[in-house]
């Protein structure tokens, strides 16, 4: 997983897997720097409301920044979540590109004029198969 956060380049070792009886997809991101400057576990799962999905961000900034959860939906190959943080809204958009087998992930922060500003952009690619 490579991209930019607030204009600065970042790279994370990332593992994506189903967890908790398959009810969630977990995205575990760890900064490749030593020691890691950032780590997150992102849990995405279906809500009890039809057509709605939820996202929970847990990261190295601590528990206070893990609230609230995001609410979103799936449309084709796009997942979009809105997270209403006390400091302002964020919007997470993940788009799968079938042609290149990659995910494009954008995080935007709401501004005081009702618009959106880029906070982070990432590209997620599958790791090549391990050699035995």
The pLDDT of residue 72: 95
CA distance 40 to 30: 7
pLDDT band, residue 123 (cuts 50/70/90): very high
- For residue 67 the two structure tokens come to 């609230």
Distance of CA 56 to the CA centre of its chain: 9
Question: Which of helix, strand or coil describes residue 7?
Answer: coil
Distances (CA, A) of 108 to 5, 16, 89: 10, 22, 9
Instruction: Please give the domain boundaries of the chain with CATH numbers for all domains.
Output: 2-125 (2.40.128.20)
CA distance 117 to 31: 23
Express each pLDDT in 48-92 by its tens digit: 888 899 999 999 988 877 778 999 999 999 999 999 988 899 999
Output the pTM of the full model: 0.88
Which residues have C-beta within 8 Å of that of residue 114, sequence separation ≥ 6?
none
The pLDDT of residue 43: 96
Instruction: Note every long-range contact of 63-68, with CB atoms under 8 Å and residues 24 or more positions apart, other chains counting.
Output: none
């Amino acid at each position: 997983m490579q991209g930019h956060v607030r204009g600065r380049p970042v790279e994370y070792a990332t593992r994506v897997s189903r967890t908790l009886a398959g009810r969630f997809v977990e995205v575990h991101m760890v900064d490749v720097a030593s020691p890691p400057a950032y780590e997150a576990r992102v849990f995405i799962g279906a809500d009890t409301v039809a057509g709605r999905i939820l996202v929970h961000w847990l990261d190295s900034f601590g528990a206070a920044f893990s609230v609230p959860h995001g609410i979103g939906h799936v449309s084709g190959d796009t997942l979009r979540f809105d997270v209403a943080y006390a400091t302002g809204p964020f919007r997470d958009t993940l788009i799968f590109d079938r042609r290149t087998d990659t995910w494009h992930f954008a995080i935007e922060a709401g501004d005081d004029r009702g618009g959106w500003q880029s906070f982070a952009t990432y590209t997620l690619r599958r790791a090549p198969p391990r050699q035995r």
